[in-house]
Amino acid sequence: MTDSISVRFWGVRGSIPCPGPDTVRYGGNTSCVEVRCGEHLLIFDAGSGLRALGAALTANDTEIDLFLSHGHVDHMIGLPFFSPLMEKGRRLRIWAGGLAATGGVKNAISALMRFPLFPIGVDAAQDGVSFHDFERGEVLTPRNSIVVRTATLNHPGGATGYRIDHAGKAICYITDNDLGPGPIDPALLSLAKGAQLVIIDATYTDAELPDHVGWGHSSWQQAVRFADAAGVKALCLFHHDPDHSDAVMDRIAADASRARPGTLVAKEGMSLTI
């Protein structure tokens, strides 16, 4: 349907991929979320989950917009292995905010795809790849029917939060971000206000926060308080700590559901339709 928004999770972890027997059910790949607004494909973050997403694309997926929250390696590690980067016949637009001072998004990707870290450079990408820098706070229109609003997040080096509006519906992607103990940033509240779905950083529990001051992440309890304050319809916890096993995630899911009924916990392969 052209007026629907669908979401699929390809990577839900933060910091580092953590595959293994203790993370089978929730997944071990880092941040990567597929969003389809009708026939239009948008991708948020290029973590290790991006490789499998690329392999699953069909011949009809010729126009792709990839939005990076920031340039930390766990959010970019999948990009060199994303088939549309090298596969002719696709148009891939890569977007990032706040990187102009360090040379822009192309320069950030070049730093990753460079010897001795990688055998080929970003200049080997196919001709349909383009790079787009913007300032956080800008409103973007990647397609005629889609508006993408942006906001600055509280994370070391900065990060970008996104709101996607399409056909009268809205979803938000807010990671990596420290909500902090004080009042919520009004700009962030405005970004999420009334959204049908917010996918949000919930790396820790409140009990774990004191050991991670300054790391730039939030707890699931803070995420619940934020969703309530913003009047969000559905909350989805995301960017799970790599040290949180499936058993720990089950406990968090149960506690979060009691605190805010209907709260979702992102799992690899999980799909939602708005």
DSSP sequence for 192-256 = HTT-SEEEEE--B-GGGGGGGTTSS--BHHHHHHHHHHHT-SEEEEESB-TT--HHHHHHHHHHH
The pLDDT value given to residue 27:
98
Of 218, 35, 68, 79, nearest in space to 150 by CA? 68
CA-to-CA dists, residue 246 to 61, 182, 203, 218, 235, angstroms: 33, 31, 14, 19, 19
Of 267, 270, 174, nearest in space to 222 by CA? 174
The pLDDT value given to residue 49:
98
Contact 10, 43 (CB under 8 A): no
Apex 40 CA angle, 34 and 43, nearest 5: 25
CA torsion sign, 135 to 176 to 68 to 237? Answer: negative
The pLDDT value given to residue 1:
55
Task: Please tell me the total count of domains within the chain.
Answer: 1
**C-alpha 263: how far from its chain's center?**
18
The pLDDT value given to residue 221:
98
The pLDDT value given to residue 105:
97
- Residue range(s) defining the domain that contains residue 216: 5-273
Low-confidence residues of the chain: pLDDT under 50: none
The pLDDT value given to residue 101:
84
User: The CATH number of the domain where 26 resides is what?
Assistant: 3.60.15.10
Task: Report strand pairing: 159-166 vs 146-153.
Answer: antiparallel
Stretch (H or E) spanning 65: strand 63-68
Which pTM was predicted?
0.97
For the stretch 196-215, pLDDT in tens is: 999 999 999 999 999 999 99
The position carrying tokens 């200049």 is 123
Residue 268 to residue 238: CA distance in whole angstroms: 11
